[in-house]
């Protein structure tokens, strides 16, 4: 089974479009796999423990449990509005997860892979970690990225990360599929260099942090939030599940084909802690997951482009966007206007422009024209025709290229390029319509054969596009397929796509605009 996960989001605020992008990307890839005929499983969820969450709850004067429940609801509501269809949902306060984390901790402790020591050092509250001298900048200070830093002298439990660092270096060097895109590998190798002589502190004394999973071998401590959170990828996949549990069969899912994460959490958590934790648990090299690292959505500002952040107050709410422009426009934009792995600037005008030009004017227009004219000139039914010419042949032949390009890019997780292939195919059909002008030639009954052939070709492109675009804009494609009166399209796998999926004698419905154009004023 193809197994896709996303990062689990901290429940210390509402989701923004960076969170939404990652989840939509995963949803698109999961739907794509399923429509290919593969079995696929998509796990997402929320990271509910840790200091950030405890602090925000304290500020609001509520207990963390109540706070987390409320914020989690905000995430599930947002994901519902975006049409995400996940197969599994991870909440780190779930007792099943807690049990799994504690089992792993106990086993590692029993094997001597976790030990206790006194440590005096500097601690970053924002990053929830101890800092070493390697984290100091050229001026010998801890830079702003660490936020408030304080000196601490305390006993804690440590995971023998350093035992696995040499293995990790070799693994990363020799496994080109571990990190996508490949250009991120250098950052990881550099970070491994820095991790060489430091074990990972995996506990927090309860007097500082109560909101976490208690260490099974010392009730004075809770688990470091990253140690807890990373385990979600296996705990919710059924790792060590107890009998009768409804969790999936672990062996059918693991290893994950894609851990989809943002570039900020590649190092050290996902590329150092996680593989070393798995290695310590006994997973082999063949059982390591693949990391798909996406870029960042930034915000355009007068000085260029800046990070989205609550403190700057430039965070974009995906729920507002869906309420204003609909699910299709938002999903389409989020995977169309960024190249997977790279950054992009969020720009509302581009959202509207892409929706209006590529969906409303291109696909919407083709769909409207094809259905309208089939009603008007062909009694709403596709009719046999003996007409054929070079342009018909070319349009039919363009399908092969579009399909090949679409699957090649989807297989490499490059949704934007895959969409270009589909949009090009649809544009070809609009050019074809302009060439034949069925609305003009239909006035002369002698052209009936040509009109029928042209309309059949246009309808065919609409039908094929509705299958190819379904993983990206499922709602709109369902509306198109309903107007084509072709429910069988929703069952179609990509491999079954070939010219001629709308049979002759097939009746279509009257069109209703699938993509009503969005006016700019509406956005303001």
Omega prior to 268 cis, within 30 of 0: yes
* Contact flag: residue 278 with ligand ME8 (CB under 6 A): no
* Contact flag: residue 18 with ligand ME8 (CB under 6 A): yes
CA-to-CA separations, 474 to 44, 237, 420, 487, 512, in angstroms, rounded: 19, 26, 17, 13, 17
Of residues 231-260, those binding ligand ME8 (CB under 6 A): 232
* Contact flag: residue 97 with ligand ME8 (CB under 6 A): no
> Under a CB-based contact definition with an 8 Å cutoff, are residues 382 and 504 in contact?
yes
Helix axes 274-281, 95-110, angle to 10 degrees: 70
Query: Which tokens go with 130?
Result: 């101890």
d(CA 487, CA 463): 11
Give the residue with the Cβ less far from ligand ME8, 71 or 370: 71
* Stretch of 229-237, 275-283, 387-395, 450-458 lying at the interface with ligand ME8 (CB under 6 A): 229-237
- In angstroms, what is the minimal distance from the CB of 345 to ligand ME8? 11
Interface residue with ligand ME8 among 125, 131, 308, 353 (CB under 6 A) is 308
- In angstroms, what is the minimal distance from the CB of 273 to ligand ME8? 10
SS3 (DSSP) at 189: helix
Interface residue with ligand ME8 among 89, 250, 296, 417 (CB under 6 A) is 296
Number of residues that bind ligand ME8 (CB under 6 A): 19
d(CA 28, CA 470): 9
* Contact flag: residue 29 with ligand ME8 (CB under 6 A): no
- In angstroms, what is the minimal distance from the CB of 84 to ligand ME8? 14
Q: What is the bridge-based pairing of β-strands 291-294 and 179-180?
A: parallel
- In angstroms, what is the minimal distance from the CB of 308 to ligand ME8? 4
End-to-end Cα, the chain, rounded Å: 45
- In angstroms, what is the minimal distance from the CB of 78 to ligand ME8? 13
Give the residue with the Cβ less far from ligand ME8, 21 or 158: 21
Measured on CA atoms in the order 113, 116, 122, 124, is the torsion positive or negative?
positive
- In angstroms, what is the minimal distance from the CB of 264 to ligand ME8? 5
* Stretch of 200-208, 225-233, 506-514, 515-523 lying at the interface with ligand ME8 (CB under 6 A): 225-233
Give the residue with the Cβ less far from ligand ME8, 125 or 482: 125
* Stretch of 1-9, 31-39, 405-413, 461-469 lying at the interface with ligand ME8 (CB under 6 A): 1-9
* Contact flag: residue 230 with ligand ME8 (CB under 6 A): yes
Give the residue with the Cβ less far from ligand ME8, 254 or 432: 254
Indicate the DSSP class of residue 497: -
Element (H, E) at 391: helix 390-411
Give the residue with the Cβ less far from ligand ME8, 18 or 428: 18
> Under a CB-based contact definition with an 8 Å cutoff, are residues 239 and 100 in contact?
yes
Give the residue with the Cβ less far from ligand ME8, 260 or 477: 260
* Contact flag: residue 47 with ligand ME8 (CB under 6 A): yes
* Contact flag: residue 403 with ligand ME8 (CB under 6 A): no
- Residues 6 or more apart in contact with residue 157 via CB below 8 angstroms: 109, 114, 115, 116, 201, 202, 203, 215, 218, 221
Give the residue with the Cβ less far from ligand ME8, 21 or 432: 21
* Contact flag: residue 460 with ligand ME8 (CB under 6 A): no
> Under a CB-based contact definition with an 8 Å cutoff, are residues 250 and 231 in contact?
no
* Contact flag: residue 353 with ligand ME8 (CB under 6 A): no
- DSSP states along 12-50: SS---HHHHHHHHHHHHHHHHHHHTT--EEEEEEEE--S
* Contact flag: residue 7 with ligand ME8 (CB under 6 A): yes
CA-to-CA separations, 457 to 71, 250, 512, in angstroms, rounded: 49, 46, 20
* Contact flag: residue 229 with ligand ME8 (CB under 6 A): yes
SS3 (DSSP) at 223: strand
- In angstroms, what is the minimal distance from the CB of 314 to ligand ME8? 10
CA 490 from centre of chain:
22
Interface residue with ligand ME8 among 141, 155, 264, 397 (CB under 6 A) is 264
- In angstroms, what is the minimal distance from the CB of 265 to ligand ME8? 5
Measured on CA atoms in the order 439, 444, 447, 449, is the torsion positive or negative?
positive
- Beta-carbon-side half-sphere exposure of residue 260 (alpha carbons within 13 Å): 28
Give the residue with the Cβ less far from ligand ME8, 215 or 266: 266
d(CA 406, CA 370): 23
- In angstroms, what is the minimal distance from the CB of 89 to ligand ME8? 14
Interface residue with ligand ME8 among 2, 3, 21, 432 (CB under 6 A) is 21
Give the residue with the Cβ less far from ligand ME8, 200 or 469: 200
* Stretch of 224-232, 351-359, 367-375, 400-408 lying at the interface with ligand ME8 (CB under 6 A): 224-232
- In angstroms, what is the minimal distance from the CB of 68 to ligand ME8? 13
> Under a CB-based contact definition with an 8 Å cutoff, are residues 252 and 23 in contact?
no
d(CA 385, CA 420): 31
* Residue closest to ligand ME8, measured at CB: 262
- Beta-carbon-side half-sphere exposure of residue 524 (alpha carbons within 13 Å): 3
Site residues, ligand ME8 (CB under 6 A): 7-10, 18-19, 21-22, 47, 229-230, 232, 261-262, 264-265, 296-297, 308
């Amino acid at each position: 089974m193809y197994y896709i996960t996303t990062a689990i989001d901290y429940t210390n605020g509402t989701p923004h479009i960076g969170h939404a992008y990652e989840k939509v990307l995963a949803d698109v890839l999961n739907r794509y796999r399923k429509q290919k005929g593969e079995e696929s499983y998509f796990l997402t969820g929320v990271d509910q423990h840790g200091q950030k969450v405890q602090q925000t709850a304290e500020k609001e004067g509520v207990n963390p449990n109540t706070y987390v429940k409320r914020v989690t609801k905000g995430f599930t509501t947002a994901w519902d509005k975006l049409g995400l269809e996940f197969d599994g949902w991870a909440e780190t306060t779930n007792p099943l997860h807690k049990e799994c984390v504690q089992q792993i901790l106990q086993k590692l402790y029993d094997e001597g892979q976790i030990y206790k020591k006194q440590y005096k050092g500097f601690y970053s509250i924002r990053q929830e970690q101890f800092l070493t001298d390697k984290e100091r900048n050229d001026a010998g200070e801890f830079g702003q990225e660490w936020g408030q830093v304080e000196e601490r002298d305390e006993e804690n439990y440590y995971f023998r990360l350093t035992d696995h660092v040499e293995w990790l270096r070799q693994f990363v060097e020799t496994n080109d599929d571990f990190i996508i895109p490949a250009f991120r590998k250098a950052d990881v190798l550099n970070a491994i260099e820095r991790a060489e002589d430091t074990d990972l502190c995996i506990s927090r004394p309860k007097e500082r942090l109560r909101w976490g999973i208690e260490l099974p071998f010392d009730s004075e401590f809770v688990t470091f939030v990253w140690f807890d959170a990373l385990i979600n990828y296996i705990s919710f996949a059924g790792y060590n599940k107890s009998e009768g549990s409804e969790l999936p069969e672990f062996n059918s899912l693991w290893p994950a084909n894609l851990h989809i994460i943002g570039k900020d959490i590649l190092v050290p958590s996902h590329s150092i802690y996680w593989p070393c934790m798995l290695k310590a648990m006994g997973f082999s090299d063949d059982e390591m997951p693949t990391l798909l690292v996406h870029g960042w959505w930034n915000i355009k500002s007068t000085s260029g482009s800046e990070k989205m952040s609550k403190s700057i107050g430039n965070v974009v709410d995906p729920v507002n966007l869906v309420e204003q422009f609909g699910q299709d426009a938002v999903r389409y934009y989020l995977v169309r206007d960024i190249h997977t792995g790279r950054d992009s600037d969020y720009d509302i005008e581009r959202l509207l422009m892409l929706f209006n030009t590529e969906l409303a004017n291109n696909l919407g227009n083709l769909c409207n024209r094809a259905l309208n004219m089939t009603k008007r000139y062909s009694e709403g039914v596709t009719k046999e025709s003996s007409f054929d010419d070079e342009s018909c042949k070319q349009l039919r032949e363009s399908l092969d290229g579009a399909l090949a390009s679409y699957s090649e890019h989807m297989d490499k997780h490059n949704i934007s390029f895959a969409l270009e292939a589909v949009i090009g195919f649809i544009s070809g059909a609009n050019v074809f319509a302009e060439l034949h002008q069925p609305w003009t030639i239909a006035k002369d009954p002698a052209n009936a054969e040509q009109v029928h052939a042209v309309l059949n070709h246009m309808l065919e492109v609409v039908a094929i596009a509705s299958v190819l675009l379904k993983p990206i804009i499922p709602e709109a494609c369902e509306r198109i397929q309903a107007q084509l009166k072709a429910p069988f399209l929703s069952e179609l796998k990509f491999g079954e796509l070939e010219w001629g999926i709308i049979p002759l004698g097939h009746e279509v419905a009257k069109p209703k605009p699938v993509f009503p154009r969005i006016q700019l004023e509406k956005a303001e």
